Amino acid sequence: MSSDADHHEPEAKRAKTEDSNNAGDTDIHLDLKDFAKFKFGEVLKEDPVRKTLALKATVDGSTDPAVVFLEKSAFTEECGKKILESDTTLKQTFHNDIYGSYTGFPQQELNGVKVTIIHPATSKHIAKFSAKESIIVNETPQLYKDVLLEHLKESAFNVQWVYNILEHRSEQERIVCEDADPETGFVLVPDLKWDGESLESLYLQALVHRRGLRSIRDLTADHLPLLRNIRDRGCEAIEKKYGVPASELRVYFHYQPSYYHLHVHFTSVQFDAPGTHVGKAHFLSTVINNLELVPDYYQRATLTYYLPRSDPLADKLRRATDGVSAE
Amino acid sequence: MSSDADHHEPEAKRAKTEDSNNAGDTDIHLDLKDFAKFKFGEVLKEDPVRKTLALKATVDGSTDPAVVFLEKSAFTEECGKKILESDTTLKQTFHNDIYGSYTGFPQQELNGVKVTIIHPATSKHIAKFSAKESIIVNETPQLYKDVLLEHLKESAFNVQWVYNILEHRSEQERIVCEDADPETGFVLVPDLKWDGESLESLYLQALVHRRGLRSIRDLTADHLPLLRNIRDRGCEAIEKKYGVPASELRVYFHYQPSYYHLHVHFTSVQFDAPGTHVGKAHFLSTVINNLELVPDYYQRATLTYYLPRSDPLADKLRRATDGVSAE
């Protein structure tokens, strides 16, 4: 399931309650065998790389819309073999020398599409599945102080779940490695997105024991022992437990992170992990190197990243400058 | 067509010539309507994110193998509409409250697969379509001096085509903006991968007039006027010609670059352009900021990137260090 479609959000429950007089609405999934009751509304988002399409649709007998999220299924070896060895029609587009380009029409049962249907869908569901325009932000140290620090206070991100892990109140059995030192220690746990088994998609996170470090913006040369410890002991623990050497690990921070308690991502370089693009991922090796060259690098650097145009933070940054883009 | 499949390489011609006694081999595309003559050999590469599969196959009556590259086609609005409004069977996987997960089986003609067939395929074709294991390289200033500079000399990358553009001997009509200053000047041209029209996939490159700058490794604070000029005048020219403002432009170098004459990439942030991951892309804004903080930053920095394990450069780096991965 795509990352767009894998979180059941709290508003879902609310939607159900609000609509509970609207008999039949939440029953749509009890006996759905085709799209006969659905009418195409509009495209919310098209992703030609991942081959997904999010649609808004109306549903006969309901006043609420549905979100229909389509995703072409990935090929497996088994399915590739069957496509070659069963009756697949080929229609040539062009050929040139030894190269030929075709459209193939495999047997229907070999060519399923993953379909996620949300009904009744609220405006939040619609927004979540809609295309978001991005903008580039060049966050100067001044903008960080004036806008970001205020934004973090107002948003009051809750990191209680992190403290629960650090204090062994939850996920204790999932800990891969722990260094209890209050200054340089950390806990290494598998990321929730990882099944914990397939080495290709290996994904772990190191959460620092030390409180009060929100992001790389708070790091100085004083934290080099902490950072080197995470790098060395984190990689060592992963090689020991999973057999994946440091030369095959991508080790990085996110800025902006999704939660503001300092943490480091470890993923396999054989895996196209989400959030590894420039403007989001910052290699731990680069952060260490920057702090070695300039002890207060992250208090002096302009950090460039993307935000959805509709993000409240983008609005705050826009108001604080003449134009967010202007360097 | 996927980036894996869109280059017809010189060896293709050679393969044809070598095999020209092998009657019928290159005729496979003349009348191919299905895979009846093909037998599944092995999977070369599976990409579950992009939904592609590369296979090696044997072909009846030929001693040479074929490469078969399958790619699920992207959804269009038209096709999404038809899937909803024609006879698509749904099979439920699970449901929970307002969420339902299904496998859909659209009409065969709505659900084609792009198929590229290369036959006869040489060992180079097989290698090109096979999965490549990557490794992480931490290139210290010492490794750059000892290994990279030697490697660049030995490889003798030809950048004559760049000089042809800079000297107006080719692509003159494609120039979007030129500043002829020998120190701070550059030429801005649409990238060959861009159709020059669709603003979403906008992709241009700025080539510096100055010779002898191979990559960001050669940059110092002395080049700040050049870099700021590219940023300001490049963004200005793109806004003027295409209406895309600087706040929607991703402006970056590649390290390692694909050719060693300094150049800057401009792509739309609304587009998931290839080569924008950390370990490949370096924002121009970050490079400028690093040189402002440390005038010889790029002569002192350790730069982290990926290489295919089988890359000759990976081998040279491995021999120069105890382990490429170690810091």
**Residue A23 pLDDT > 60, yes or no?**
no
Give the pLDDT band (50/70/90) at residue B114.
very high
pTM of the model: 0.79
Cβ of B116 within 8 Å of Cβ of A101? The answer is yes
List chain B residues with CB under 8 Å of A112: 103-105
- Over residues B300-304, the mean pLDDT reads 98
User: How close is the nearest chain A Cα to the Cα of B309, in Å?
Assistant: 10
- Residues 6 or more apart whose CB falls under 8 angstroms from that of A80 comprise B40, B43, B53, B55, B70
**Residue A6 pLDDT > 50, yes or no?**
no
Helix, strand, coil share of chain A (percent; to 5) = 35, 25, 35
Cβ of B70 within 8 Å of Cβ of A104? The answer is yes
Which one is predicted more confidently, A9 or A63? A63
Map tokens 């804004």 to a residue: B285
CB A23 within 8 A of CB A16: no
Nearest Cα to Cα of residue A106 among A88, A91, A93? A88
Cβ of B46 within 8 Å of Cβ of A114? The answer is no
Supply the angle between the helices A224-242 and A284-293 in degrees, to the nearest 10. 160
Q: What phi and psi, each to the nearest 5 degrees, are found at residue B290?
A: -60, -40
Q: What is the pLDDT of residues B216-275, one digit of tens each?
A: 999 999 999 999 999 999 999 999 999 999 999 999 999 999 899 999 999 999 888 889
For position B110, what pLDDT does the model report? 87
Cβ of B280 within 8 Å of Cβ of A278? The answer is yes
Identify from A6, A7, A73, A98 which residue to disrupt to test chain B contact, counting B C-beta atoms within 10 A and taking the largest count. Answer: A98
For position B26, what pLDDT does the model report? 57
Give the number of other Cβ atoms within 10 Å of residue A154's Cβ: 9
Q: What is the pLDDT of residues A221-242, one digit of tens each?
A: 999 999 999 999 999 999 999 9
Amino acid at A306: Y
Q: What is the pLDDT of residues A116-141, one digit of tens each?
A: 999 999 998 998 899 889 999 999 99
User: How close is the nearest chain B Cα to the Cα of A163, in Å?
Assistant: 30
CB B44 within 8 A of CB B55: yes
Q: Is A188 helix (H, G, I), strand (E, B) or coil?
A: strand
Percentage of chain B exceeding pLDDT 90: 68
ipTM of the complex: 0.79
* Strand positions, DSSP E, A7-139: 38-47, 52-59, 66-72, 89-96, 99-105, 113-118, 134-139
C-alpha B224, offset from chain centre: 28
Look up A263 and say whether it is catalytic: yes
Average per-residue pLDDT for chain A: 88
